[in-house]
Amino acid sequence: MMGRVTISHNVGEDSTTVSNVFIDEYMQDANDAQIKIYLYLLRMMKANLPTSVSALADKFNHTEKDVIRALKYWEKKALITLEYDGADTLIGIHMEDLTTHRPSGSRKNESVLKAVPSSNKEEPEHAVPAKPNYSAAQLRAFKQSSDANIVFPAEQYFKRPLTSTDLMTLYYIKDELKFSDDLLDYLMQYCVDNHKADFRYVEKVALNWAQQGIKTPKQARVENFKRDPELIEIMKALGMENSPTEKEGNFIKSWRGELGFSMDIIMEACDRTVMATQKNRLKYCDSILRSWHVNKVSSRADIARLDADFTADLRKKRSKASVSSISKIRSDESYIRPGGVQNRFNQFQQNTYDFAELEQKLLDN
């Protein structure tokens, strides 16, 4: 068993200070996008550098809607103040001082969330009901109802019996957020696939989907593809700047899931695809990766081995083709009769061949 670990540092002046209040009181309830946005705002403030919604979106491969949502989240938490001009255009972000603890929402009436500027208009978030404090009797009724048919799949996903807190979360998602069994099943599968076997994370994702008006697994998959940094990186590597469709997302996910390739191998296939073709790049890249899968490629060394084998095999085939062509030409020489004796098969002007030169040219090709 490991004992206590001492943490030391060698931090220079080129660093950004994060308040302990943020770490202790705010970070645990925020999602990854919200944390990234807040920390980057601190970094830009420290360097006295300007930024914008579009710049933040590009920085983290988020949509502008994600950035705006994160900014509004921190304003609701009273950690920042957003400043707008008369046309409701965002012109400033004021970072609040957290050197002394202030309860979340204490400045609720001091900062009014204004409309998003027209250049960054997005669909409004859907209001979601608060989570009730369900009684034991309500939870028992839920387990006995037809809605409880999601409990067994949940226990299979999370590989343990559900606690009363887990059941309360399931009941909330079914009863208040109105998730169908299919959507709830996909939600749990999504969380487990992302190694988040925690119902607090399940609830956060469910709230996020509910705010976006997501009602079906298909809508959820498309939204998840838009947020998948590796998928976005692969799309860009193939020269595809659009948000991935469900079909494109499933296609690429098969490279990581079904074929089991690392990003390093996938990016190598993307590079070769871009150099080879302008059209149907997804299918072309897929053909490369499936060929590598058949040949049990798991590293760049395996790819180099296949390349060397291919080159050697190609040279051998070319050599055989050259020798075969030369032999055919030499066999045809017997029909060219010197001495002027001609028949009806030899009434054409004869050519004189330098076979040594011809053989060399064929070998060079």
Kindly tell me if the per-residue pLDDT of 135 is higher than 60.
yes
C-alpha span between 80 and 56 (Å, rounded): 16
Mean pLDDT of the chain: 77
How many angstroms separate the CA atoms of 295 and 98, rounded? 57
Return left, alpha or beta for 260; rule: phi > 0 is left, psi -120 to 50 is alpha, else beta.
Answer: left
**pLDDT value at residue 328:** 60
**Under 8 Å between Cβ of 238 and 285:** yes
> At 326, is the pLDDT very low, low, confident or very high (cuts 50, 70, 90)?
low
CA distance 308 to 102: 65
Residue found under tokens 């409880």: 148
- Say yes or no to pLDDT of 119 above 90: no
Per CATH, 20-120 and 136-226 having the same topology is answered: yes
- pLDDT 10s digits, 32-61: 888 999 998 888 887 778 888 888 888 888
Q: What is the pLDDT of residue 111?
A: 32
User: What average pLDDT does this structure show over 243-264?
Assistant: 86
Maximum Cα–Cα distance across the chain: 115
At 173, the pLDDT band (50, 70, 90 cuts) reads very high
Q: Are 78 and 105 in contact (CB under 8 A)?
A: yes
Fold (topology level) of 136-226: Arc Repressor Mutant, subunit A (1.10.10)
Residue 247 CB coordination number (10 Å):
9
pLDDT of residue 116 exceeding 90: no
- Is the pLDDT at 346 greater than 80, yes or no? no
Task: Average the pLDDT over 293-314 and give the result.
Answer: 89
Distance, CA of 5 to CA of 16 (rounded, Å)? 24
Cα gap 209→177, rounded to integer Å: 9
Q: Is 227 helix (H, G, I), strand (E, B) or coil?
A: helix
CATH number for 20-120 (one of 3.40.350.10, 1.10.10.10, 1.10.760.10, 3.40.50.1220): it is 1.10.10.10
Compare 247 and 285 and report the one with higher pLDDT: 285
The CB-based long-range contact list for 208-213 (8 Å cut-off, 24+ gap) reads 208/31, 209/183, 210/126, 210/128, 210/177, 210/179, 211/69, 211/125, 211/126, 211/128, 212/123, 212/125, 212/126, 213/123, 213/126
Q: Are 37 and 68 in contact (CB under 8 A)?
A: no
**Global pTM?**
0.47
The pLDDT-based confidence of 230 (bands split at 50, 70, 90) is confident
Please name the residue that has the structure tokens 């050197």: 99
pLDDT band at 224 (very low <50, low <70, confident <90, very high): confident
What is the identity of the amino acid at 335? Y
Burial of residue 35 (number of CB atoms within 10 Å: 0-12, 13-18, 19+): middle
What pLDDT band is residue 121 in, cutting at 50, 70 and 90?
very low
Q: Which two tokens stand for residue 98?
A: 């957290």
Tens-digit pLDDT profile for residues 88-104: 777 788 888 775 444 44
The domains of the chain are located at: 20-120, 136-226, 228-294
